Amino acid sequence: MLRRSIASVFCSLALLAGCGPSETPGVSKGCVQQVQFDAPMVNGLGLSSHLEWGESEEDVARRSQEQQMWAELGPHVIRRDISWAKVEPEVDQWNLSGVDRVLEVTEAAGADWVALLDYGNPAYPPYAEDRTHPVSDPADFARYAAKIAQTYGDRFLFYEIWNEQNAGMAFWKPKEDPVAYAALLSATVPAIRAADPDSVVAMGGLFWPDLAFNTPGPEFLDALLGLLPDLASVDVVPIHPYRYPFTMPETQEDHQSSMIDQICGAREQLDDAGLQDVDIWVGELGWHTAPDAFAPGLTHADQAAVVVRAAILSFAQGAEQFTWYTTRDSGTDTADQEQMFGLVGYDADPLDGDDAERKPAYWAYATLSKMLGSHDAIRDLSEDLHLDAQTYGYELSGGPSKTLVLWTDGPSREVQVPVTKDALIRTEIDGVEQVEWVAHRASVTIGPSPVFLQESDRALR
């Protein structure tokens, strides 16, 4: 598990030597300016998946496709449901063969599975027909969680208890209920720990926005802290800081704060409660590409940009994991946002030999994974490079070299970057590299699409 430590900003002596006091002061971003993790940040780069676990020829083909995608994309964490009603269709009658199939693909990709334990079970009456109704006795859910942990404790590290329980109309019917969720958490956390003492246990990810159908994430978390001051000793609070409408992550609006402020706000709530050792994940986040939805999606180019921007901003504020929602589109209805959050388009027939379209966001995610590399620290360069409020720059360090990532939330502009080696390698989010000879300082043109910069001693002459 990644752990964070926070330090103040300082000028590095290598790639960013030459900070000058005479230039216009930069505008620091967020509540921390430097984060040091216990492991490379890429270990916390995730994908939310609906990977099929059936035995049909089509399901086998889709698993094969997604396994190939994961090999290209490089996620280290896969978040996928292990829905109770599917694995225990009758009381004490277990069918875990589907879990085994998904786990086989996940392990082949070298990724950890965030085992999302969720929803009710019609086998345990009284029960409404919709599976998102919780069962009446939390002990029943806890037994299911313990069964999963007992069976897979040597192969699972992460468990998450429910999903978006504060969006009651969708996932905790008929209405969200912090008292009932607190009871579920109190029963389930110790059951998992007894079965798998080495586990990392997260409460259910909170849907962070304030919309008409939900209790906002901060409000629900406050209520839960009032009921359970230690949050039942969970290790992690995941947040889902979706944008409604789907604006860029840095955007500050009257009805919603920026993504940076949302993460900082969650951190402050936990710290104020004395839970400094409880980590935060951006456990689920995405931007869809359905242009005719009620809240229209992004262009493919903008979706690619926010994959990188949102991930870097998350790590920069100390989030231990960033998980993109989701791998694949589930349909082609341009008015249905839920069908088009994927990095890959919809493939109606996985057996015809034609792969679905890989969106630009797919290659951006793959580039991000590659550029995170072995870096285990991230630092805000706003002061060092004298960046204004709309310009973002971060230094990724740890490992044999350093990497800069730069973008702007405004018009394109030039940024002066001090360098100490002969060449500067510029990598676009589609993976295309350009090598330039430089002398002490480079003038770099940046725009909304992030660029990665690395110094090099390449002998190109």
- Residue pLDDT, tens place only, 272-296: 999 999 999 999 999 999 999 999 9
pLDDT at 87 over 90: yes
pLDDT score, position 48: 98
Of 17, 147, 53, 113, nearest in space to 440 by CA: 17
Of 32, 43, 28, nearest in space to 320 by CA: 43
pLDDT at 461 over 50: no
Per the CB < 8 A criterion, the answer to whether 57 and 351 are in contact is: yes
Set out the domains of the chain in order of their start, with CATH numbers: 4-35+379-456 (2.60.40), 38-372 (3.20.20.80)
Confidence of residue 326 (pLDDT cuts 50, 70, 90): very high
Q: Which residues touch 351 (CB under 8 Å, ≥6 apart)?
A: 57, 58, 61
Strands 279-285, 112-117: pairing kind:
unpaired
What are the structure tokens assigned to 443, written together? 């003038």
pLDDT score, position 255: 85
Cis peptide before 25 (omega within 30 of 0): no
Average of pLDDT values for 77-85?
A: 97
pLDDT score, position 356: 87
Looking at per-residue confidence, does 171 or 456 come out higher? 171
Q: What burial letters (b/e) apply to 436-450, b meaning 16+ CB within 10 Å? A: eebeeebebebebbb
Residues 338-361 pLDDT 10s: 999 999 999 999 999 888 899 999
Of 177, 166, 181, nearest in space to 215 by CA: 166
Beta-ladder partners of 342: none
pLDDT at 125 over 90: no
The lowest-confidence range among 20-24, 54-58, 186-190, 349-353 is: 20-24
Looking at per-residue confidence, does 69 or 25 come out higher? 69
Query: Which percentage of the chain shows pLDDT scores above 70?
Result: 93
pLDDT at 129 over 80: no
pTM assigned to the model: 0.94
The lowest-confidence range among 202-206, 217-221, 399-403 is: 399-403
CA 273 to centroid of chain Cα atoms? 24
Per the CB < 8 A criterion, the answer to whether 380 and 318 are in contact is: no
Distance (Å, rounded) from C-alpha 192 to C-alpha 202? 11
The conformation of residue 257, written as its DSSP 8-state character, comes to -
pLDDT at 252 over 60: yes
Query: Which percentage of the chain shows pLDDT scores above 90?
Result: 86
Distance (Å, rounded) from C-alpha 334 to C-alpha 289? 8
Per the CB < 8 A criterion, the answer to whether 332 and 339 are in contact is: yes
Q: Name residue 219's amino acid.
A: E
Distance (Å, rounded) from C-alpha 174 to C-alpha 426? 52
Q: Name residue 10's amino acid.
A: F
Per the CB < 8 A criterion, the answer to whether 47 and 324 are in contact is: yes
Looking at per-residue confidence, does 212 or 55 come out higher? 55
Around Cβ 296, how many Cβ atoms within 10 Å?
Answer: 16
**Cα torsion angle, 307, 378, 243, 184, sign:** positive
CA 62 to centroid of chain Cα atoms? 23
Q: Which residues touch 426 (CB under 8 Å, ≥6 apart)?
A: 433, 434, 435, 436, 444, 451, 452, 453
Give the chain's mean pLDDT: 93
Beta-ladder partners of 187: none
Of 178, 148, 173, 168, nearest in space to 160 by CA: 148
Distance (Å, rounded) from C-alpha 453 to C-alpha 449? 13
Average of pLDDT values for 189-208?
A: 98
